[in-house]
Amino acid sequence: MELNLDAVGFRAEPFTVNWTDKDAILYALGVGAGQADPADDLSLTTENTAGVAQQVLPTFGIVLAQSGLLRRIPLGEFDRAKLLHADQRIEMTAAIPPEGAALVEARLEGIHDKRSGALVVISTSASHAETGEQLWRSRLGYFIRGAGGFGGPPDPMSGWSEPDTEPDTVVTTPTRPDQALLYRLSGDRNPLHSDPAFAARAGFDRPILHGLCTYGVVHRALVGELCKGEVSRFHTMYARFSRPVHPGERLRTETWADDVGVRFRTKDETGRTVLDQGRFDFR
Protein backbone atom coordinates (compact mmCIF):
# COMPACT_ATOMS: atom_id res chain seq x y z
CA MET A 1 0.00 0.00 0.00
CA GLU A 2 1.64 3.22 -1.15
CA LEU A 3 -0.20 6.51 -1.70
CA ASN A 4 0.96 8.98 -4.31
CA LEU A 5 1.77 11.99 -2.13
CA ASP A 6 3.01 13.92 -5.17
CA ALA A 7 -0.54 13.95 -6.55
CA VAL A 8 -1.68 16.66 -4.08
CA GLY A 9 -2.95 19.58 -6.16
CA PHE A 10 -3.84 17.33 -9.11
CA ARG A 11 -6.86 18.50 -11.11
CA ALA A 12 -8.84 15.81 -12.87
CA GLU A 13 -9.96 16.29 -16.44
CA PRO A 14 -13.44 17.90 -16.27
CA PHE A 15 -16.20 15.38 -16.90
CA THR A 16 -19.92 15.53 -17.61
CA VAL A 17 -22.64 13.86 -15.55
CA ASN A 18 -26.21 13.41 -16.77
CA TRP A 19 -29.38 12.61 -14.87
CA THR A 20 -33.11 12.24 -15.42
CA ASP A 21 -36.10 12.87 -13.18
CA LYS A 22 -36.14 9.09 -12.56
CA ASP A 23 -32.57 9.22 -11.21
CA ALA A 24 -33.49 12.05 -8.82
CA ILE A 25 -36.56 10.14 -7.60
CA LEU A 26 -34.57 6.91 -7.13
CA TYR A 27 -32.04 8.80 -5.01
CA ALA A 28 -34.80 10.33 -2.88
CA LEU A 29 -36.32 6.88 -2.30
CA GLY A 30 -32.85 5.57 -1.44
CA VAL A 31 -32.56 8.05 1.43
CA GLY A 32 -36.03 7.29 2.77
CA ALA A 33 -38.39 9.73 1.07
CA GLY A 34 -41.97 8.48 1.32
CA GLN A 35 -40.89 5.64 3.58
CA ALA A 36 -43.14 6.46 6.54
CA ASP A 37 -46.11 7.49 4.36
CA PRO A 38 -46.20 7.38 0.53
CA ALA A 39 -48.20 10.63 0.59
CA ASP A 40 -45.24 12.42 2.20
CA ASP A 41 -42.42 13.97 0.16
CA LEU A 42 -44.34 13.79 -3.13
CA SER A 43 -42.26 16.66 -4.52
CA LEU A 44 -39.22 14.38 -4.15
CA THR A 45 -40.77 11.07 -5.18
CA THR A 46 -43.05 11.96 -8.12
CA GLU A 47 -42.87 14.05 -11.29
CA ASN A 48 -46.57 14.10 -12.17
CA THR A 49 -48.55 14.90 -9.02
CA ALA A 50 -51.14 17.61 -9.71
CA GLY A 51 -50.08 20.94 -8.24
CA VAL A 52 -46.72 19.60 -6.99
CA ALA A 53 -43.50 20.58 -8.75
CA GLN A 54 -40.69 18.06 -8.56
CA GLN A 55 -37.76 19.06 -6.33
CA VAL A 56 -34.32 17.47 -6.19
CA LEU A 57 -32.58 16.85 -2.89
CA PRO A 58 -29.34 18.88 -2.84
CA THR A 59 -27.29 15.90 -1.64
CA PHE A 60 -28.08 14.17 -4.94
CA GLY A 61 -25.35 16.43 -6.33
CA ILE A 62 -22.74 14.68 -4.18
CA VAL A 63 -23.63 11.32 -5.73
CA LEU A 64 -23.44 12.76 -9.24
CA ALA A 65 -20.08 14.49 -8.74
CA GLN A 66 -18.44 11.51 -7.05
CA SER A 67 -19.31 8.98 -9.73
CA GLY A 68 -16.02 7.29 -10.63
CA LEU A 69 -14.08 10.02 -8.83
CA LEU A 70 -11.34 7.80 -7.43
CA ARG A 71 -10.55 6.49 -10.91
CA ARG A 72 -9.89 10.04 -12.08
CA ILE A 73 -7.26 10.94 -9.47
CA PRO A 74 -3.88 9.13 -9.20
CA LEU A 75 -3.99 8.32 -5.49
CA GLY A 76 -1.63 5.34 -5.70
CA GLU A 77 -2.14 1.79 -4.50
CA PHE A 78 -4.44 0.89 -1.60
CA ASP A 79 -6.91 -1.81 -0.54
CA ARG A 80 -10.44 -0.65 -1.38
CA ALA A 81 -11.71 -2.67 1.60
CA LYS A 82 -9.78 -0.24 3.83
CA LEU A 83 -11.47 2.85 2.37
CA LEU A 84 -14.11 4.65 4.45
CA HIS A 85 -15.91 7.94 3.95
CA ALA A 86 -14.55 10.30 6.63
CA ASP A 87 -16.49 13.54 6.16
CA GLN A 88 -18.58 15.45 3.64
CA ARG A 89 -19.56 19.03 2.87
CA ILE A 90 -22.04 20.27 0.24
CA GLU A 91 -22.77 23.89 -0.65
CA MET A 92 -25.59 24.80 -3.03
CA THR A 93 -25.36 27.84 -5.28
CA ALA A 94 -28.44 27.01 -7.39
CA ALA A 95 -31.21 24.42 -7.45
CA ILE A 96 -30.50 21.13 -9.24
CA PRO A 97 -33.05 20.72 -12.04
CA PRO A 98 -35.04 17.45 -12.17
CA GLU A 99 -33.10 16.46 -15.27
CA GLY A 100 -30.03 17.81 -16.98
CA ALA A 101 -26.26 17.66 -17.29
CA ALA A 102 -23.42 19.24 -15.33
CA LEU A 103 -19.71 19.71 -15.92
CA VAL A 104 -17.72 18.58 -12.87
CA GLU A 105 -14.21 19.67 -11.91
CA ALA A 106 -12.28 17.87 -9.15
CA ARG A 107 -9.05 18.58 -7.30
CA LEU A 108 -7.01 16.56 -4.81
CA GLU A 109 -6.69 19.06 -1.96
CA GLY A 110 -4.53 17.05 0.41
CA ILE A 111 -3.36 13.74 1.88
CA HIS A 112 -3.11 14.02 5.66
CA ASP A 113 -1.32 11.66 8.05
CA LYS A 114 -3.65 10.34 10.76
CA ARG A 115 -1.10 7.74 11.97
CA SER A 116 -3.62 4.88 11.90
CA GLY A 117 -4.50 5.83 8.34
CA ALA A 118 -4.48 8.57 5.73
CA LEU A 119 -7.15 11.22 5.17
CA VAL A 120 -7.58 12.07 1.49
CA VAL A 121 -9.41 15.36 0.80
CA ILE A 122 -11.00 16.04 -2.60
CA SER A 123 -13.03 19.05 -3.73
CA THR A 124 -15.52 19.13 -6.61
CA SER A 125 -17.46 21.87 -8.35
CA ALA A 126 -20.38 21.36 -10.73
CA SER A 127 -21.78 23.79 -13.29
CA HIS A 128 -24.79 23.52 -15.60
CA ALA A 129 -23.49 22.02 -18.84
CA GLU A 130 -25.44 24.43 -21.07
CA THR A 131 -25.55 27.73 -19.18
CA GLY A 132 -22.33 27.49 -17.17
CA GLU A 133 -24.20 28.43 -13.98
CA GLN A 134 -22.57 26.91 -10.92
CA LEU A 135 -24.92 24.49 -9.19
CA TRP A 136 -22.99 23.15 -6.21
CA ARG A 137 -19.59 22.68 -4.58
CA SER A 138 -18.57 19.75 -2.40
CA ARG A 139 -15.60 18.68 -0.33
CA LEU A 140 -15.10 15.15 0.90
CA GLY A 141 -12.66 13.17 2.98
CA TYR A 142 -11.77 9.50 2.51
CA PHE A 143 -10.03 7.65 5.34
CA ILE A 144 -7.76 4.78 4.26
CA ARG A 145 -7.02 2.52 7.19
CA GLY A 146 -3.41 1.40 7.58
CA ALA A 147 -2.05 4.00 5.14
CA GLY A 148 -0.74 6.46 7.76
CA GLY A 149 2.67 6.96 9.31
CA PHE A 150 4.25 8.64 6.30
CA GLY A 151 4.96 11.90 8.11
CA GLY A 152 2.56 14.09 6.17
CA PRO A 153 0.62 17.06 7.56
CA PRO A 154 -2.28 16.44 10.00
CA ASP A 155 -5.80 17.28 8.91
CA PRO A 156 -7.01 20.84 9.65
CA MET A 157 -9.24 21.59 12.64
CA SER A 158 -12.95 21.94 11.92
CA GLY A 159 -13.72 24.76 14.37
CA TRP A 160 -16.83 22.93 15.62
CA SER A 161 -17.60 23.39 19.31
CA GLU A 162 -19.42 20.91 21.53
CA PRO A 163 -22.90 22.16 22.54
CA ASP A 164 -23.30 22.64 26.29
CA THR A 165 -27.12 22.82 26.34
CA GLU A 166 -29.98 20.47 25.64
CA PRO A 167 -30.82 20.25 21.91
CA ASP A 168 -33.43 22.62 20.49
CA THR A 169 -34.96 19.90 18.36
CA VAL A 170 -34.67 16.12 18.03
CA VAL A 171 -35.51 14.44 14.73
CA THR A 172 -35.96 10.65 14.68
CA THR A 173 -35.55 8.89 11.35
CA PRO A 174 -35.89 5.15 10.60
CA THR A 175 -33.87 3.27 8.01
CA ARG A 176 -35.02 0.11 6.22
CA PRO A 177 -33.28 -3.29 6.47
CA ASP A 178 -32.85 -3.14 2.67
CA GLN A 179 -31.86 0.56 2.60
CA ALA A 180 -28.33 -0.10 1.30
CA LEU A 181 -29.64 -2.34 -1.51
CA LEU A 182 -31.94 0.44 -2.68
CA TYR A 183 -29.42 3.25 -2.22
CA ARG A 184 -26.68 1.47 -4.20
CA LEU A 185 -28.84 1.78 -7.34
CA SER A 186 -27.92 5.48 -7.36
CA GLY A 187 -24.37 4.54 -8.29
CA ASP A 188 -22.25 3.39 -5.33
CA ARG A 189 -21.91 -0.36 -5.93
CA ASN A 190 -19.17 -0.85 -3.31
CA PRO A 191 -19.68 -4.46 -2.11
CA LEU A 192 -19.00 -3.32 1.46
CA HIS A 193 -22.69 -2.42 1.52
CA SER A 194 -24.11 -5.60 -0.02
CA ASP A 195 -21.63 -8.51 0.04
CA PRO A 196 -21.32 -10.23 3.47
CA ALA A 197 -17.92 -11.77 2.59
CA PHE A 198 -16.47 -8.41 1.49
CA ALA A 199 -17.87 -6.73 4.62
CA ALA A 200 -16.22 -9.43 6.77
CA ARG A 201 -12.86 -8.80 5.07
CA ALA A 202 -13.27 -5.14 6.01
CA GLY A 203 -13.89 -6.09 9.65
CA PHE A 204 -17.69 -5.84 9.83
CA ASP A 205 -20.09 -8.57 10.90
CA ARG A 206 -22.45 -7.69 8.04
CA PRO A 207 -22.78 -5.07 5.27
CA ILE A 208 -23.04 -1.51 6.53
CA LEU A 209 -25.04 1.42 5.24
CA HIS A 210 -23.24 3.80 2.89
CA GLY A 211 -21.98 6.81 4.82
CA LEU A 212 -23.52 9.03 2.17
CA CYS A 213 -26.83 7.23 2.61
CA THR A 214 -26.80 8.07 6.33
CA TYR A 215 -25.83 11.62 5.37
CA GLY A 216 -28.68 11.79 2.84
CA VAL A 217 -31.24 10.34 5.26
CA VAL A 218 -30.36 13.01 7.84
CA HIS A 219 -30.24 15.74 5.19
CA ARG A 220 -33.73 14.85 3.95
CA ALA A 221 -35.06 14.80 7.50
CA LEU A 222 -33.55 18.21 8.30
CA VAL A 223 -34.83 19.75 5.07
CA GLY A 224 -38.29 18.55 6.08
CA GLU A 225 -38.00 19.70 9.68
CA LEU A 226 -36.07 22.97 9.33
CA CYS A 227 -36.84 24.07 5.75
CA LYS A 228 -40.45 22.81 5.68
CA GLY A 229 -39.53 20.67 2.71
CA GLU A 230 -38.38 23.62 0.55
CA VAL A 231 -34.97 22.64 -0.81
CA SER A 232 -34.36 26.21 -2.05
CA ARG A 233 -33.94 27.30 1.57
CA PHE A 234 -30.95 24.99 2.09
CA HIS A 235 -27.40 26.32 1.73
CA THR A 236 -24.69 24.08 3.24
CA MET A 237 -24.28 20.86 5.21
CA TYR A 238 -21.21 19.28 6.77
CA ALA A 239 -20.69 16.20 8.94
CA ARG A 240 -18.03 13.73 9.99
CA PHE A 241 -18.75 10.00 9.77
CA SER A 242 -17.77 8.74 13.20
CA ARG A 243 -19.34 5.26 13.26
CA PRO A 244 -20.98 2.97 10.68
CA VAL A 245 -24.74 2.39 10.63
CA HIS A 246 -26.38 -0.95 9.91
CA PRO A 247 -29.45 -0.91 7.66
CA GLY A 248 -32.63 -1.02 9.73
CA GLU A 249 -31.32 1.12 12.58
CA ARG A 250 -33.24 4.18 13.78
CA LEU A 251 -31.35 7.48 13.77
CA ARG A 252 -31.75 10.33 16.25
CA THR A 253 -30.52 13.78 15.18
CA GLU A 254 -30.09 16.50 17.81
CA THR A 255 -29.87 20.13 16.63
CA TRP A 256 -28.78 23.39 18.23
CA ALA A 257 -29.89 26.60 16.47
CA ASP A 258 -27.77 29.67 15.78
CA ASP A 259 -28.04 32.72 13.51
CA VAL A 260 -27.48 30.92 10.19
CA GLY A 261 -28.71 27.39 10.82
CA VAL A 262 -28.00 24.60 13.26
CA ARG A 263 -25.23 22.49 14.66
CA PHE A 264 -26.24 18.85 14.77
CA ARG A 265 -25.18 15.39 15.86
CA THR A 266 -26.76 12.08 14.85
CA LYS A 267 -26.82 8.97 17.05
CA ASP A 268 -27.87 5.39 16.42
CA GLU A 269 -30.48 3.59 18.49
CA THR A 270 -27.86 2.59 21.10
CA GLY A 271 -26.88 6.22 21.65
CA ARG A 272 -23.54 6.07 19.81
CA THR A 273 -22.71 9.06 17.60
CA VAL A 274 -22.65 8.22 13.87
CA LEU A 275 -22.53 11.74 12.38
CA ASP A 276 -20.54 14.29 14.35
CA GLN A 277 -19.58 17.98 14.17
CA GLY A 278 -22.57 18.59 11.90
CA ARG A 279 -23.62 21.94 10.41
CA PHE A 280 -26.77 22.64 8.43
CA ASP A 281 -27.12 26.24 7.24
CA PHE A 282 -29.85 28.16 5.44
CA ARG A 283 -29.63 30.63 2.61
Active site positions, annotated: 188, 193
Measured between alpha carbons, how far is 113 from 111 in angstroms, rounded to an integer? Answer: 7
In one-letter notation, the amino acid at residue 72 is R
**In the beta sheet, which residues pair with residue 17?**
102
Nearest to 267 by CA among 128, 192, 171, 141: 171
Instruction: Indicate the Cα dihedral angle 106, 184, 241, 55, nearest 10°.
Output: 70
Given its phi and psi angles, is residue 248 left (phi above 0), alpha (psi -120 to 50 degrees) or beta? Answer: left
Nearest to 112 by CA among 137, 93, 130, 87: 87
- Find the angle CA(190)-CA(196)-CA(197) to the nearest 5 degrees: 90
Nearest to 62 by CA among 38, 83, 92: 92
